[in-house]
Structure formats: C-alpha cells, structure tokens
C-alpha cells in the first residue's frame, strides 16, 4: 500500500463520482488519502466505506462551506444547477478543481467567483492504475502545482500554457483510451474473421498492442524507427502497412475522429453556459 498522500491536507469534496472521478478517488485512497478527508455529492455513486455521501441540497451547502478542495466531476450539462446550489456557499479559501469536458477556466471563474483558485484537469481512465496522463491549466494567479501531489499518483502530468488547447486535449488524451480500445477490438475482430478463435484473437490483440506500447515507451525511439525494425521491403508487414497508409486514409480518419470529439466538447461548453 502506497502512502504518498498521507500528508495531504484539507477536506476534499467530489461533486459527481462517476467512472473518471471514481477512478481518481480509488487511486488516491490506494496511495494513502484518508477517507475521512473525502466527501461525495452524487446520488448515483456507489457507497464507499468511511466516505460521507450527501444527497440533499442542505447537505450540499454544508459540505461546500467546510471543503478546502472541491472537484467538479459531474456532467458538464449540470454545471448551472451545481453552481446555483453550491456556488454561494464556497468560501475564498476553496480551491476549485474541474474535470468537466468543454468547461473553460473562464466559465468556472464566472460560475464560482469566490473560489481561491480555479484549476482545470483533464485526466484519462488509465489513471486507475497510475498509467494515465493529466493535462492541467490554471487561471490567473492560481498555481496548478498545488495539485501535483494528487495528479502524480495518476500518471504523467502535463501543464498547459493555454486553457484554449484543452478541448483538443480532451479529445486527444481524455477520449483517447476509448479509441485505442476500439482499435484493439477491431483488430481482434479482424483476426477472428480470418480464422482465429475469439479467445485467441482477443488475447493476441491485447498482447500485441500492449507490448508495442510498452516497447515504444521504454525505447524512447520514434514510432517510425520501430516500424522500420519490424517491416522489411516486400515483406508481410509492409504489405499490411501499404493498406493502412493507402491514400492517407488512416490519418484522415483519426483527424476526423479527434475533430468530432473536440467539437462536441465545445458544444457541451455552450450547453453549460446556457447558450444552446
């Protein structure tokens, strides 16, 4: 059991505790965060031992007044409701953290003007095992480094100079694991269609993608250099690469995937601001 967060100070209130916020919380508890320092506002969240969970508006307000840290992890469309019920009860000693897709730092500052600092975090699901990446941006004088002890337990931390890039990062790294999982699923399905059993195809696909990613990370080489080590001219690998690279279709497909996810993040921001 890791104990790196035993010295974490203050009370942490999670507003929303779904898949992403829940994965972050489980990792923090594993690394020594005291459950008595955590409270949750989320009627849908599964009960967690020794962690207070609030459901009524009165409890929300009391929790907001007593919190030192508040992390917004609900749906972006719920921002207006949460700001209305919780915002007036946040003191100027509270640091506000947000993992809400599409909700900018300016939006947060407008909704929660009394907060001591506004910090936007974009983690991804691999945070559950400490292999994630968290992009982080802060507003004005807010120092994003104050959340480094929390975020470092989740994996890599990448500070962003501009909050305006967060919509693309949301699509690129936040949504990214789902796209990788889909590609592994499709790769396994292709193996099955060509004659492998479903079990063997999925096991081999998982091992192939996992091993390739581990090798890329460990070697420090560029992907192209490793491709050259696998593919030989006129060989089987090159025959497959010729299909993947044909007419730039793969790059175009992934560009369209990221564009769609980025644009949806912007739409969610408009909804959160009541503009759509």
| Residue 229 and residue 130 in one domain | no
Q: What is the rounded average pLDDT for all residues in the chain?
A: 91
The count of structural domains within the chain is 2
Establish if 7 belongs to a structural domain.
Answer: no
CATH number of 216's domain: 1.10.3730.10
| Residue 154 and residue 62 in one domain | yes
Binning pLDDT at 50, 70 and 90, where does residue 276 land?
A: low
Residue 125: domain span:
12-161
CB neighbours of 210 closer than 8 A, spacing ≥ 6? none
Contact assessment for residue 155 and residue 28, using Cβ atoms and an 8 Å cutoff: no
CATH number of 86's domain: 3.40.50.720
Quote the CA–CA distance of 191 and 21 in Å, as a whole number. Answer: 35
Q: Is the pLDDT confidence value at 106 over 60? A: yes
Q: Is the pLDDT confidence value at 195 over 80? A: yes
Binning pLDDT at 50, 70 and 90, where does residue 7 land?
A: confident
| Residue 154 and residue 232 in one domain | no
The model carries a pTM of 0.85
Quote the CA–CA distance of 25 and 267 in Å, as a whole number. Answer: 28
| Residue 149 and residue 182 in one domain | no
Q: Is the pLDDT confidence value at 203 over 90? A: yes
| Residue 20 and residue 150 in one domain | yes
| Residue 53 and residue 187 in one domain | no
Reported as a single tens digit per residue, the pLDDT across 155-176 is 999 999 889 899 899 999 999 9
Domain end position, chosen among 105, 129, 161: 161
Establish if 271 belongs to a structural domain.
Answer: no
Establish if 80 belongs to a structural domain.
Answer: yes
Establish if 27 belongs to a structural domain.
Answer: yes
Kindly calculate the radius of gyration of the chain based on its CA atoms and give it in whole angstroms: 21
| Residue 193 and residue 144 in one domain | no
Q: Is the pLDDT confidence value at 47 over 70? A: yes
Contact assessment for residue 97 and residue 119, using Cβ atoms and an 8 Å cutoff: yes
Binning pLDDT at 50, 70 and 90, where does residue 204 land?
A: very high
Supply angle C-alpha 24, 151, 266, rounded to 5: 75
Q: Is the pLDDT confidence value at 187 over 70? A: yes
Helix spans in the chain (H): 19-30, 57-66, 79-86, 105-111, 148-152, 166-169, 176-193, 198-219, 223-230, 236-245, 249-272
| Residue 126 and residue 233 in one domain | no
Q: What is the mean pLDDT of residues 226-239?
A: 95
| Residue 134 and residue 218 in one domain | no
| Residue 24 and residue 112 in one domain | yes
Res 92: pLDDT? 86
Establish if 168 belongs to a structural domain.
Answer: no
| Residue 128 and residue 59 in one domain | yes
């Amino acid at each position: 059991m890791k104990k790196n967060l035993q010295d974490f100070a203050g009370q942490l209130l999670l507003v929303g505790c779904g898949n992403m916020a829940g994965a972050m919380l489980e990792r923090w508890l594993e690394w020594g965060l005291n459950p008595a320092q955590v409270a949750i506002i989320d009627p849908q969240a599964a009960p967690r031992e020794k962690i207070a969970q609030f459901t009524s508006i009165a409890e929300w307000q009391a929790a907001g007044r007593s919190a030192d840290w508040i992390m917004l992890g609900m749906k972006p469309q719920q921002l207006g409701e949460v700001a209305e019920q919780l915002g007036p009860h946040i003191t100027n000693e509270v640091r506000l953290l947000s993992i809400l897709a599409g909700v900018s730092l300016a939006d947060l500052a407008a909704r929660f003007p009394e907060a001591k600092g506004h910090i936007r975090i974009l983690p991804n699901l691999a945070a559950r095992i400490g292999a994630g990446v968290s992009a982080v941006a802060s507003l004005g004088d807010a120092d994003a480094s104050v959340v480094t002890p929390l975020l470092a337990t989740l994996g890599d931390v990448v500070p962003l100079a501009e909050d305006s890039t967060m919509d693309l990062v949301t699509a690129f790294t936040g949504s990214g694991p789902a796209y990788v999982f889909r590609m592994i699923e499709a790769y396994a399905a292709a193996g099955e269609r060509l004659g492998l059993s479903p079990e063997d195809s999925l096991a081999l696909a998982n091992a192939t993608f996992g091993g390739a990613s581990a090798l890329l990370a460990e070697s420090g080489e560029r992907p192209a250099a490793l491709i050259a080590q696998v593919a030989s001219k006129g060989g089987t690998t090159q025959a497959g690469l010729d299909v993947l690279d044909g007419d730039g279709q793969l790059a175009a497909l992934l560009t369209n995937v990221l564009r769609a996810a980025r644009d949806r993040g912007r739409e969610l921001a408009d909804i959160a601001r009541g503009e759509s």
